[in-house]
Structure 1
Amino acid sequence: MEAVQPSDRLYCLDVCTNESWKWMKTIMDTQKRVTILGVPFLHATKKETVDVLTRRIEENKQTQVVTANPEIVMLGRQNASYMELLKRSQVVTPDGIGVVLASRWIGQPLPERVAGYELLHALMVQADTYGWKYVLLGASPESCAGAADRLKEQYPHARYSGHFDGYFSEAEEKQILEHIRRERPHLLFVALGAPRQEEWIARHLPELPVNLAMGVGGSFDVISGKVKRAPVFWQKLNLEWMYRLLSQPKRWRRQLLLPKFALSVIWNQIILRRK
């Protein structure tokens, strides 16, 4: 199956109730968002987000997905062009408890955290169900190849269409783009780190026959087994960020953006309330 065309759409009415389709039509029509420090987050649970993205693929709508944590929001605050990219992206999800807490503080609570790693796997479940094609791009050669092997094992009915590590020359990039054009994948997962991965997608996606492209940060490292994800205990306490900091101390500079994010949200809300 090639990337979805108007005459060759995928239908999943057999697994979706009329109510869920009604909800999806409503949210796609209204595009309800919660704006936090200028970044518009989709107001949806993980399941609802997957439903929305599945519908967009079915309707042959091209989608850039950004899973934005506080670090990405603050990068947008520091870089005007990156902020514009975030605003133009079709779907931005709250990848971080800090974003969810911020939404509660401003009185527009997001339903839950929608982490990029979990969203990747949820989309792969859909790919396994409908036979979608997927391509991996980014990370180290070992992590990218390892992630490809793991995903092929875990989702045997999804159609693997190639993987490329993140260390490519300009000439190699042209070959990668040509491969993607030839394969016409439904899903393109890009692990180049923020903001590079989002900028790469925004620059190339309009010219590619790809339904959905998403930056996935360090997900390939975790999927391949090179890096361990935080244990469930830490995840349930919403302390995955602390686990990563303890296991990867070199991240401390990036973590400094977290208190800046919190203070920016509080200060921004104080100013709005005074108006």
Structure 2
Amino acid sequence: MRTVPVIGLPLACTDYAGAVAWILDKAATSSTAVAVEAANTHVAALARSDAAFGESMRAFDLIVPDGMPLVWSLNAALPPAERLTDRVYGPTLMLETLEGTTGKPEFRHFLLGGKESTLEKLQSVFAGRFPGVAIAGAYSPPFGEWPEDEFERMTAKIRESGANLIWVGLGCPKQEHWIARHKDRLPPGVYFGIGAAFAFHAGEVSQAPAFLQRCGMEWAYRIAAEPRRLFRRYFTYNSLFVWYTLRDRMSGKTNRLP
């Protein structure tokens, strides 16, 4: 799949159908762990500004453009015939992947992260919306510092479930670091850094209206909903994204991740 660097992050030039096809092929055939990320401006700017996070992102095999500003940056580097018409939004990618595995028992899903109550709601929602999808297991790790044997406990549950599509909702950047740093020790399958999708689909957090998503203003809706938690993050990383984009264009160089 063709990739184009946006402030150093290699973004796949794809839509939902292309991403799902790639994911299901890897889930069915890969003998190792494969990492997928839906990247927004926060992820892109953090990968550029934080060397440790940039190193983790280099371990990911497919990074799709979750935010419209990333789509606009991609399209600026693509010929008109190849330009994207939409982003590949992480929560929607999750639903599209579930839809693509309906009635296909060879694909088994595992939900890792979030509260027990959230995982219970998710499994109920998915069972009603996607009858015939195999949710093979779910696990809520303890909050705070994990005991030394927690990695073995989590991977044992994934392995025993037979899952090959593992949705990791530990929050950014924890989920990306966890996938990347343990990638060579994880059971085979496709691992997704899925962020807030668990809370969205469980009905615990509302999503921005579609028109705000299309015009790249989802961040404003999220800040209005959770100002104390999200204002600093969006202000910092949206500003960094704009700065790195302008600097790269003025220099005429495509910078790599640190």
Q: 175, 182, 185: which is aligned to 2:160?
A: 182
Amino acid at match of 1:159: A
Residue 252 of structure 1 pairs with residue 227 of structure 2 = no
Q: CA deviation at 1:99?
A: 0.8
Q: Quote the Cα distance in structure 1 between the aligned partners of 2:134 and 2:181.
A: 25
Match of 1:125 in 2: 99
Residue 32 of structure 1 pairs with residue 32 of structure 2 = no
Q: 56, 67, 82: which is aligned to 1:85?
A: 56
Q: Quote the Cα distance in structure 2 between the aligned partners of 1:40 and 1:212.
A: 18
Match of 1:141 in 2: 116
Q: CA deviation at 1:106?
A: 4.4
Q: What is the correspondence of 1:48-59 to structure 2 with a 5 Å cutoff?
A: 48-59=18-29
Sequence identity (%): 24
Q: 189, 193, 197: which is aligned to 1:211?
A: 189
SS in 2 for 1:88: coil
SS in 2 for 1:77: helix
SS in 2 for 1:89: coil
Q: How many residues align?
A: 243
Q: Quote the Cα distance in structure 2 between the aligned partners of 1:52 and 1:107.
A: 21
Residue 151 of structure 1 pairs with residue 126 of structure 2 = yes
Amino acid at match of 1:39: L
Verify the 8 A CA contact 1:76 1:86 in the aligned structure 2. Answer: yes
Q: 1:34 to 1:110 in 2, by over 3 A?
A: farther
Amino acid at match of 2:34: T
Q: CA deviation at 1:152?
A: 2.2
Unaligned runs of 5+ in 2: 254-258
Q: Show CA shifts across 1:128-162 (max 9, x none).
A: 23122111111233222211221222222121222
Amino acid at match of 1:92: I
Match of 1:163 in 2: 138
Amino acid at match of 2:112: L
What TM-score does the superposition give when structure 2 sets the normalisation length? 0.86
CA RMSD of aligned residues (A): 2.0
Q: CA deviation at 1:110?
A: 5.2
SS in 1 for 2:5: strand
Amino acid at match of 1:193: G
Verify the 8 A CA contact 2:68 2:214 in the aligned structure 1. Answer: no
Amino acid at match of 1:41: L
Verify the 8 A CA contact 1:230 1:244 in the aligned structure 2. Answer: yes
Moved more, 200-209 or 68-77: 200-209
The runs of 4+ residues in structure 1 deviating greater than 3 Å are: 104-110
Q: CA deviation at 1:55?
A: 2.0
SS in 1 for 2:127: helix
Match of 1:11 in 2: none
Match of 1:25 in 2: none
Moved more, 112-121 or 48-57: 48-57
Q: 208, 222, 230: which is aligned to 2:200?
A: 222
Amino acid at match of 1:135: F
What TM-score does the superposition give when structure 1 sets the normalisation length? 0.81
Q: Quote the Cα distance in structure 2 between the aligned partners of 1:206 and 1:130.
A: 27
Verify the 8 A CA contact 2:68 2:215 in the aligned structure 1. Answer: no
SS in 2 for 1:129: coil
